[in-house]
């Protein structure tokens, strides 16, 4: 896969260069795959960590010493460090910047609100200013994509479109609203080609294990092979518009290919409850979810978001985008992957190489 994505091209047309923050996340990995297939050179900004966190992009990583084929390159930087952002933009000279980095867990944002605001809101402002000042000094054209979130709508009733008022219900959502308006302001004040993608929930087998969809499918696989008995969840009536992350990254790219910068909602226009997700996933493996799921009040948010359902009419009409993966296909895709993962884990447990991590 890596060699296919990173083949050298015989034509003399210079490659487009993309800079991606949050490249090690779910969306960053799918976007990088997509851009490499489009012939881009992709640069990703990553935070220094004592633990490697590049699992989602290891399959497309090529050692930079292999100059002709290493078209994905990683650099240390942080959205909390403005100097690193400006330095890498000056060095890389990107044609497109995709700001996907965030402290993106809603529940965690209640625990670390200051950090969430610094990275999600002010971090976006730092990156916008770095792009603006680079354009002023270099005279180059750079297009900017800001990753928005359906959480920004919060308590506003569905369906939600680009003109729906925001009513954020968490520090994460409030921070995303700030980042959204910073992006609009830089577009209006400085003429920056800057787009907001208001993406509704998008999942995949690469979703973090502490997000409810992946938490369910990960536990389901372990329950099926006998490594776990119980799954503890919060509000089962919360309703979300769930799509496939691999579909949604294409919409990000499409926004930056338009003649005019604008903001777009990206969604499936279908809403399903957490309980429905349980029914489809557990039913797929022939299990009854009620035999294994228990409600734990600690997983309820201080202020709940009841129902998110997007109106993606504008994205369909202007971009020509529409989702390819439906709800049931998405759920089964995630279950298949986590069932296989659980079976491999079971082999190691049975052989005594690891324990079952004290799951209930």
Active site residues: 149, 151, 172
Six token digits for residue 102: 């965030």
Pair of tokens at residue 319: 């971009």
Three-state SS at 17: strand
Looking at the DSSP assignment, which residues form a beta bridge with residue 196?
146, 263
Going from the C-alpha of 91 to that of each of 20, 64, 74, 199, the distances in angstroms are 14, 16, 13, 30
- Computed from CA positions of residues 138, 139, 142, 146, in that sequence, does the dihedral angle turn out positive or negative? positive
Counting other chains too, the contacts that 33-37 makes at CB distance below 8 Å and 24 or more residues apart are 33/5, 33/60, 34/246, 34/249, 34/250, 34/253, 35/253, 36/5, 36/6, 36/60, 36/71, 36/72, 37/5
**Residues whose CB falls within 8 Å of the CB of residue 79, separated by 6 or more in sequence, listed in order:** 21, 85, 101, 119, 123, 124, 126, 127
Decide the pairing of beta strands 96-99 and 293-295: unpaired
Beta bridge partners of 148: 198
Which stretch of DSSP H or E encloses residue 97?
A: strand 96-99
Q: What is the rounded distance in angstroms from the CA atom of residue 100 to the CA atom of residue 221?
A: 29
Q: Where are the alpha helices (DSSP H) in the chain?
A: 2-5, 26-37, 82-92, 106-111, 113-116, 123-138, 171-190, 212-225, 245-256, 274-284, 313-314, 327-350
Structure tokens at 221: 């696989």
Distance of alpha carbon 173 from alpha carbon 43, whole angstroms: 27
DSSP assigned state of 259 = S
Bond into 159 cis (ω within 30)? yes
Residue 164 and residue 177 in contact, taking contact as beta carbons nearer than 8 Å: no
């Amino acid at each position: 896969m890596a060699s296919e994505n990173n083949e050298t091209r015989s034509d003399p047309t210079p490659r487009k260069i993309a800079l991606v923050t949050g490249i090690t996340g779910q969306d960053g990995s799918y976007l990088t795959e997509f851009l490499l297939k489009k012939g881009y050179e992709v640069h990703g900004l990553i935070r220094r960590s004592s633990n490697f966190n590049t699992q989602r992009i290891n399959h497309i990583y090529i050692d930079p010493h292999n100059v002709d084929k290493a078209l994905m390159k990683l650099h240390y930087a942080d959205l909390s460090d403005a100097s690193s952002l400006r330095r890498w933009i000056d060095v890389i000279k990107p044609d497109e910047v995709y700001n996907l980095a965030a402290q993106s867990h809603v529940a965690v944002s209640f625990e670390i609100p200051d950090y969430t605001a610094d990275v999600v809101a002010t971090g976006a402002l730092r990156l916008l200013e770095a792009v603006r000042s680079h354009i002023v000094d270099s005279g180059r054209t750079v297009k900017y994509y800001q990753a928005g979130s359906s959480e920004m709508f919060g308590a506003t009733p569905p369906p939600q479109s680009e003109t729906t008022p925001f009513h954020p219900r968490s520090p994460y959502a409030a921070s995303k609203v700030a980042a959204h308006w910073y992006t609009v302001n830089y577009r209006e004040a400085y003429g920056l080609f800057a787009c907001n993608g208001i993406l509704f929930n998008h999942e995949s087998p690469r979703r973090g294990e502490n997000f409810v969809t992946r938490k369910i499918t990960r536990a389901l696989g372990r329950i099926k092979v006998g490594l776990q008995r119980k799954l503890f969840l919060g509000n089962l009536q919360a309703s979300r518009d769930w799509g496939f992350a691999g579909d949604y990254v294409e919409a990000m790219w499409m926004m930056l290919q338009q003649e005019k910068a604008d903001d777009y909602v990206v969604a499936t226009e279908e809403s399903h409850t957490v309980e429905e997700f349980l029914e489809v996933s557990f039913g797929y493996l022939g299990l009854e979810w009620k035999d294994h799921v228990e409600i734990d009040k600690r997983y309820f948010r201080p202020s709940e978001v009841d129902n998110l359902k997007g109106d993606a009419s504008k994205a369909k009409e202007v971009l020509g985008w529409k989702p390819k993966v439906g709800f049931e296909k998405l759920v089964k895709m995630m279950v298949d992957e986590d069932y296989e993962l659980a079976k491999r884990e079971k082999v190691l447990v049975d052989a005594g190489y690891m324990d079952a991590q004290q799951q209930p």
